[in-house]
Structure formats: structure tokens, C-alpha cells
Chains A and B, each alone.
Chain A
Amino acid sequence: MTPVIMTVNGAEVSATVEPRTHLADFLREQLLLTGTHLGCEHGVCGACTILIDGEPARACIVYAATCGGRDVRTIEGLADDPIAAALRSAFTAEHALQCGYCTPGMLVSARDIVRRLPDADEDRIRLELAGNLCRCTGYNGIVRAIRRVLAQRPQDVIVAKPPLPRGQFAEVREAAPTVTRADAAPTSTPGDTLKQTLRLALPRETVWRAVCDPALIASCVPGARVTSVNGDRIAGELVASLGPIEARFAGEAIVTYDSHGGQIKAHGRDPASGTRLSADATFQVAEDGPQASTITLDIVYALRGPLAQFGRGPVVRVFAAEIADAVGRNLEARLRGEAIPEAPRLRAGSLIWRALWRWLRGLIGGR
């Protein structure tokens, strides 16, 4: 618990908060200021927009413990504000709300538009409102209400703030870091599909035997673990991390083999984030020469839940290529009897996880 002292609606508030408590929960649950609404709780919908030091901010992605010394003002604190009063009247006159859920945040943003952009036209108002979602009005009434207040030319406009202070930044030595990029070159087709090619300096039969040994393949995938093999069903888990993002997927795959190839159907879930992944893949092991072979994977996948927001297509593809590269290196080392050079942990994100998972499942495919 962290002690914090801030100003809320003009009064000093002293409280003890858990660091993870965001400002909107603090306002609603501890101060009972329930005018601040919570919609998405990840900074997209704007329902929780309040004022911090006079500027609009998302209360759901600011933590109360970091607000020491700040001046917080909620919709309750705008009761006597002249522009807010004019906006309330205009919202009524122009039918700028229906259910009212977005309205507290909408009023805070509308007041900011009126004060900061006194010359805003309809296009600019609509642009500014992009950060406040309303699912009732279609925005027409809201835009009319804001234009009505702007036409009244309120006096309380924002005066330009002073330039930031000048400072000195430490002298530095010029140095570029070494950059490494995966050299695996994935190709792709439209939609949530992924084609991954892995070239190995090993004979086809050696690779095929490895592909048929789920535990061996799993040991080559950083962060992957097989928990049970039951016929063609393989259960396992995969920890994938991409920068700060970490997903721990538990799931199951059904693997079927034909001649030097097969199919994988896999699904998994990260309980912490509620992210779900499902994938269908086909794989083939082809001969490139006496000491060379290629594993190709064609994957169709779906990622649902929080991770999908960050697991955008291009990110997934690049991540998958990096994973394939790591698995290829580890598999070669393993089959040559060398130690696997990298810690068994995948450095990739959600995308990786998907790609990896399917791929892993495929590779794991026990019989």
C-alpha cells in the first residue's frame, strides 16, 4: 500500500492505495465519485476522461499512487464551471446523449475542445471526439451541442502555456549497437495465414524422425513444454514473451501424420489475459539434397482476446520468422548432439506464441 495526497475537486485528499489501483477505481470506490465511468479500461473508449492538472486524461490508465500532488477534477467538480454548464444545456437542447454512459467523459472532452480550440469547425470537433466513443447518438447531437457553445464565444479559453524549461543533457559517446534481425524470410498470403519455411543442414530422414518425436521438438522451442501425450493428442504449455508482454498458453493439439508430412489442429489459452488462440496447420518435410532438408508449415490461425490488439499481422509474421529461426538452430544443434545454445525461453510476443504454438504442436506431434 502506498500513501498518496492529491487534490480532488478542490479538496485535499489523503489516502492509502494499492499501487495497481487506477485513478478511476480510486475515485469511484474510495471517494464514491461515481460520475467517472469505466468502459474499456484500456484507454480506448474515453468514458473515464477526467482532468489532471486541468488537462483531460484517461483515469483508467493512470495509477492513483502516481498522482501525488496532482490536481484531479471529475465531472462532479465541474458542477459550477460556466463552460460545463453551457455544455450541459446544449447537450439537452441538441439531444447529445441517450443512455448517458459516455456523457461524463464526453463533457470533459467537449469542454477541452471549447477552451482549447475556439475556432474549431465540425471536422475538427469530430476529429477531437475520436477518443470518446458514443454508441447511441451517432455523434450528430454531440457535435451540434459543442458548436452551439462555441458560437457563444465563451471567454474562458486556454492561454498558451509557457515553454518547457531549458536543461542540459549529459555528454554521450556516439555508439551504434549491434543489430540482429532474423534472416528467415517468411512468405505470406492474405488473411490470418502464415507460411513458414525452415531450412536445415540435416538429412530428411533425420529431420522426419525428430518431427515425429514431440518431446524432442519441444525441447528446441524456447519456453515450450509437453505435459502429456495421449495417442494423437498432445497437451502442453508455452511461455512466449515479446518485449514486456508475456503470455503463458496452455492447450492441446491433435497431430496426424502422413508420408513426411501431416496436419495439426491446436488451440490454447492464456488464463491471465484470457487470450485464446486456435490454429490449423499442415507441414511437410522435403529433401533438398543428401544433407539438407526443408520443413514447410502452412498455418491458418485466429487470435482472440486482449493479445490480439497487439498481435497485429505484421508483428506476428516477423515474430514467427524469428521463432522458426531459433527452433531451426536448436534442432540442428540437438540432432548433432550439441548443447542447445539458448535458454529454453521464447523471446516473442503473442504473435510468436500463436505461430510458435501451432508450429510447436505440429513439431511435437507424437504418435
Chain B
Amino acid sequence: MKPAPFELARPANLAEAAAALAQNLGEARLLAGGQSLGPMLNLRLVRPAMLVAIAHLPELGAVAEDADAVTIGAAVTHAAIADGRTPDVGNRILARIADGIAYRAVRNLGTIGGSLCHGDPAADWLTTLTALGASAITWSKTGGRAIPLAHFITGAFRTALAPGEIVQAVRVPRPSSQAHWGYYKACRKPGEFAHAMAAVLDDSARGVRRAVIGAAGGPPVVLEGEQVTPVAAGDALRTAGLDAVARHMQAVALKRALAEAVA
């Protein structure tokens, strides 16, 4: 199918992008790599009057790092991260996550910020970056903020972003050198939407032990400290409304992520 007609704005900077959003409140959507929004547009599940293209903005394509964290511009592609063109948080954690997203042709255009803002509960970045304790760094006319990813998604395809607020980067804290990391997702076919996924960060030097379960229909399910057990996960997933089959797949994903984190 072909998309319903829309107008296209190509702003020169974030201020112009925000202005375009503000002038078309509720009718305009940001377009980054378009690898999730494109299918929805073609299927006419989404019919915005305007798209505001931002993937070309230089301020979204840069990276930064300091002793505590790595910051990646929102329009950096999964492929750039997978290929090691961005700083990593250690042990190629980000590169390995990026390399498992969809297919290479999709990774070449899909962006880290676009994936987060799309808000698909089964997205790799949402679950893994939540486990890593990352925050979305936003920009708005009145000043940006750092939104911890654990609070970034309010529901499937819905974010905590205010109207006119744009994610400009993702700040990912560096785990300590002794940290253990595990990530597992269950897909019937490589690259398809995951049916279950779990990420585990065990970093006692920083006092962090966290498991995050994604593809659970809503915001990621976050378990901290003593809660990181299959039993606690099962309880949380029952509360989240998952059926027995889905809970079983999630339990397996969690066990495998835990096993990787121990290894």
C-alpha cells in the first residue's frame, strides 16, 4: 500500500523542527530513519498531515563520552553502533545489541532515538538501555531534560515526551569493568519482532543488579536487586497481563540472559 498524502518539512536545526511540530500540533510527526514509521505509513495505520524529517540534522548525528557515560546522538544508526563507529560502554555491549536489530538494510537507516520514540515494547534498545540505566536527553524550546528510560514509555507506542519535546541523544552510563551483562530475545525468525526478551546487568561495584523484561505489551518490566528472580518476574508479568505461554517464554529469556551474565 501507499501512504496517505502528507507534507514534508526538512528543518535545518532542532529549533526549526520544534517550530514545525508546534505549528502542526497533533498533526505532525518526527521522521528519523523511518524504519518503523515507514511500514506504518505504508499500511495507513498512521496518517499524519506532516512529517518533520530530522535524520539529517548534524546535532543528532554526533557522539560524546566522559568517564561516567557515553552519549549517542538520536539519529545515529544501529549500523554505526554495530560497526564500532561510536564509543561503547565496554565489552562491545552496545555494538552487539545493535547488530541484532532487524536486518542490515534496516540497521543502515534505523536510528537509536527513533527506535526509543517509536515506543514499540518489543524494541531491542528500549529493553537493553533501560537495563543499562540510560536516559533520553531531550531538547525543547524551554530547555531539555534527562528522562530515565525506565519512565520513558508510558504504554505501547506512547512516550513521556511533551508536545514539541525532541529526543536529541541517549546517555548510557558505563558499567564497571567487573560488570556482567546478559541479553536474550526469542524470535521465531532472526530480525522479526521478539516474542520475549530480557536484559540483565549485574554490576556489584556500582551497586546495581537489574533485570528488564521487554515485549510485555507495555513499558519494560524492571526488576531491581533481590527482585531479580524468575518468580518475581512471573508475578510482575502476571500483573502486566501476560498469559501463561508468554510468561513461560519470558522466563526462558530471563534465565538465558542471567546465564549469559554469569558466564
Contact = CB atoms under 8 A, between A and B. Distances in A.
A179 B119 CA distance: 15
Nearest to B170: A169
Interface stretch (A127-135, A207-215, A229-237): A127-135
A336 interface: no
B146 A175 contact: yes
A171 B217 CA distance: 33
A188 B189 contact: no
B85 A170 contact: no
Interface stretch (A62-70, A91-99, A250-258): A62-70
Given A62-B38, A306-B44, A318 B241 contact: yes
Contact of B6 (A20, A112, A188): A20
Given A20-B3, A244-B157, A42 B39 contact: yes
Interface in B142-157: 143-148, 151, 154-157
Nearest to B60: A167
Given A42-B39, A243-B119, A189 B61 contact: no
B158 A243 contact: yes
B216 interface: yes
Interface in A267-282: 272-273, 275
A231 to B, nearest CB: 34
Contact of A172 (B1, B44, B63, B145): B145
A186 B241 contact: yes
Interface in A26-78: 41-44, 46, 49, 52, 55-58, 60-63, 65-66, 68
Contacts of A128: 103-104
A175 B120 CA distance: 23
A150 to B, nearest CB: 16
B105 A242 contact: no
Interface string B88-109: 0000000000000011111011
Contacts of B8: 2, 19, 63, 65-66
Nearest to A128: B104
A180 B154 contact: yes
Contact of B45 (A20, A186, A246, A312): A246
Nearest to B109: A57
B79 A306 contact: no
A261 B146 CA distance: 49
A19 B40 contact: no
Given A55-B79, A314-B216, A60 B35 contact: no
A43 B160 contact: no
A87 interface: no
B179 interface: no
A290 interface: no
Contacts of A309: 39, 43
Given A169-B169, A306-B44, A19 B105 contact: no
A66 B157 contact: no
B156 A349 contact: yes
A337 interface: no
A118 B159 CA distance: 41
Interface centre among A186, A312, A313, A316 (most CB of B within 10 A): A312
Interface in B127-177: 137-139, 143-148, 151, 154-160, 168-169, 171
Contact of A314 (B6, B71, B169, B241): B241
B38 A164 contact: no
A169 B218 contact: no
A25 interface: yes
B252 interface: no
Contacts of B147: 175-177
Contacts of B189: 130
Interface stretch (B16-24, B46-54, B201-209, B255-263): B46-54
B218 A181 contact: yes
Interface centre among A43, A68, A166, A242 (most CB of B within 10 A): A43
A227 B43 CA distance: 27
A62 B189 CA distance: 24
Given A63-B8, A165-B62, A242-B156, A273 B145 contact: no
A20 B5 contact: yes
Contacts of B244: 189-190
Contacts of B45: 245-247, 273, 275, 306-307, 310, 350
B138 A172 contact: yes
B242 A188 contact: yes
B246 interface: yes
27 contacts: A2-B8, A41-B2, A43-B39, A52-B108, A66-B55, A109-B104, A130-B103, A130-B189, A165-B61, A166-B64, A169-B64, A170-B139, A172-B144, A243-B155, A243-B156, A246-B46, A275-B45, A307-B45, A309-B39, A310-B40, A312-B215, A315-B217, A316-B217, A317-B217, A318-B156, A319-B156, A349-B157
Interface of A: 2, 18-20, 22, 25, 41-44, 46, 49, 52, 55-58, 60-63, 65-66, 68, 109, 112, 116, 127-128, 130-132, 160-177, 179-181, 185-190, 242-247, 272-273, 275, 306-307, 309-310, 312-319, 321-322, 347, 349-351
Q: Can you list the 6 inter-chain pairs with the closest CB atoms, starting with the nearest?
A: A167-B62, A131-B103, A243-B157, A314-B217, A61-B38, A42-B39
